[in-house]
Structure 1
Amino acid sequence: MGKTAEAIAEGVSIASAAARLAVRNHILVETIAHDAPFDIATTAPFAHDTLIALAEEQEAAAALAKRQRKKAWGKFTDPDGTHDYRDRDMRNLRKRHRQYIGVAKELRRIAEDPHAVRTLVEQSRDAAWGDVEANLQRRLRVEGMRPDLDPDYDRMRVARMQSLRLVDLPRLAAHRRHLADDADPADAVNGPPSPRASGIDLSELDA
């Protein structure tokens, strides 16, 4: 289990990362989906509530560990499953309880510290803007890419041409045949056989 202080610090770090992710997603939804302006003051309450919710999860885990410890006391038989604890597990369950309580206490302290909450919001904002910037750059690279600048152009061109020949052209030909089947037979005109390539009637591709 490691030292209690180290375990608490690691738990707080994990919970803080989860809080940043939640606040980041909140910022993205509010600014992009709801077209709301970003403001630290209006986002801070959400960050505070997120930290409190995470603290409550830790407290619930601590309460569970306490119940499990009481249930395990005096049991020396073989366990029936992973969470069927015995007397020999009492020490670890006691450590878990202390660790959960320690993480919850620290999260509540952070939630009540305006400076810490503001820092959390700013970090989440930076992460959100980083996601937006990465998506924009990715789209610009794709839409603005020229064949001579794309190192994978030749390799991917073969795949694209195969997809065109095996998927797109047959689909288009089937669509044209469907249109022809729905047409008036009196409008049909007999003529020479249509040229074909790779099993595709090229005349069906005429606009």
Structure 2
Amino acid sequence: MAPKRKSARIAAAALVVVPKVTIPKANDKSATAEIAKLKKQLARNKTESTTKLHRAQCDLEYARDELQRNKMQHKLESEKKNEELATLKTEKQALTNEIKHFKNCKDTRKAYGIVQAECKKAEQSRKRMLEAQSLLRAEQEKKFKEAKPWRQCEICTEEFTETGARSPRIMSCGHTFCLTCLESMKETYFRTQIRCPTDRKYMYCKDGDLTKLPINYLALHM
């Protein structure tokens, strides 16, 4: 009886139905969309990386070109400075030779002596002119007993007038002469400068127009 019971239990166990376990399937559409999204992101990243790499290469090429230009400019400036230095050396040598020539030149010394002699003659003439003017004023004082030398030009001894060619004009050194004498002195020396016959100082007149000099009204009305 025992073997039969055992076989019966085995047969009953065989008849037990095992329930099926169903595994849920993934959504194919969402997975495909996610994969497509990842592919787009990957392509975008690749494009950005390529752009950055291209930009970096362009910057590197620009830096190389700039360095090359700087080298060329530095080379040109260096060559120009060398040329200027060579020119200055040549000019210095020429000036040195000229200085030696003038030092050894007897004609230059002779010309300098002539200039000094002419300056002495001019100074003596100026002193004689001043002495003659002093004597003339003294004679006028004796003759008219009321001399007014400040109303007369010290060069031509003509009396000043308020307007015209005999108007008294004040030089930059402070001395006063008539306009006619100043014009004659301008023609004697340079067109734009006059040398005062009293103190030998130069006065520069702009554009050579002496009518712009101030009039000495004090000499007219004293």
Greater fraction helix: 1
**TM-score between the two structures when normalised by the length of structure 1:** 0.20
**TM-score between the two structures when normalised by the length of structure 2:** 0.19
Q: Higher relative contact order by CA 8 Å / sep ≥ 6: 1 or 2?
A: 1
